[in-house]
Amino acid sequence: MAVVVGAVAGLNIVIGSLVAPFPVAAVVTIFALCVAAAVLVADPNRHLAPLILMLGMPLLGVGLSEPPATALSAGALLLLGSIYGWLVSLIWPDRPGIQRPAKAAVPRRVMLAYGIQIGIAGAAGAALGFALDVDHPGWACAAALLISRPDRALLDARSIGRILSVFLGATAACVVAAFHPSNAVFAAVVLVVIAGAAGTAGSRWYVLPFFTTLLVLSMLIGDETESATHWFLERVALTLAGAALAVLAAWVVPRVMAVPGSTAVGSQKSNSDQSSGT
């Protein structure tokens, strides 16, 4: 499964980079794929659909910020990393699998409404990024899709959690940059960040964005192409925009389509998503 996760992640980043030079096509692609993935989730036999919806679509948004060559390299590294992780896992003895109760099928109409909801949020985030001509036009899109969940209470909690985590992570990155660390110190910071992200992966609090923001902004600031303030403002502002779009879409679409804001699929997934690092 780890290899499949890496493949889905890498492929969607590459797809995002390929449509990024064509803003209109990129916006339409995000909306269409979000709707398609959500509808497929309604079919219990589509085992990859939830993974594509919850991980693949946000990473497609991430790919909008990268040129194809960079995205291809990132995708290859994700795939190789997942293969490496799988090989390392073979060292440990097998453990009995966790028996999970079968989930009730979610009505296709409910998932269609949810797909339209996140499709609008993600597409609007991408359109905003392209319109503002920011360095990373996919950040607002990715934030909107990472925050979005069928359960409204969970969506609200994730929006607040992501905003706070990104703000604190961006602040920490600026503090690190202020000391002009050597390569050795920066490598140590990266190691601590990765360990922290892995160690808190099961947390009920949405803290992963703190670590990813600290890592990404530290690397961007280290390139010295722009000031730390520039990257801080862009990351935080686009995260706020993505959160606002996710909440707005969750408020409007269910009312227009007469679908409850807290759906059956939301209640089924809320417990697992509380501890999810995505």
DSSP-assigned states of every residue in 193-258: HHHHHHHTTT-SS--HHHHHHHHHHHHHHHHTSS-HHHHHHHHHHHHHHHHHHHHHHHHHHHHHTT
Q: Sketch the domain layout of the chain as residue ranges.
A: 2-91+107-274
Q: Which amino acid is at 44?
A: P
- pTM of the predicted model as reported, rounded to 2 decimal places: 0.86
Tens of pLDDT, residue by residue over 19-71, are 999 999 999 999 999 999 999 998 888 889 999 999 999 999 999 999 999 99
Q: How far is CA 200 from CA 20, 39, 51, in A?
A: 33, 31, 20
**Tokens 């607002």 sit on residue:** 140
| 276 vs 169: CA distance, rounded Å | 19
Mean pLDDT is lowest, of 31-40, 107-116, 216-225, for 216-225
The b-or-e profile of 157-172 (16+ CB within 10 A means b, else e) is bbbebbbebbbebbbb
Q: Are 222 and 233 in contact (CB under 8 A)?
A: no
Tens of pLDDT, residue by residue over 29-42, are 999 999 999 999 98
Cβ neighbours of residue 230 closer than 8 Å, sequence gap 6 or more: none
Q: Are 161 and 207 in contact (CB under 8 A)?
A: yes
Q: Are 60 and 15 in contact (CB under 8 A)?
A: yes
pLDDT at 133 over 90: yes
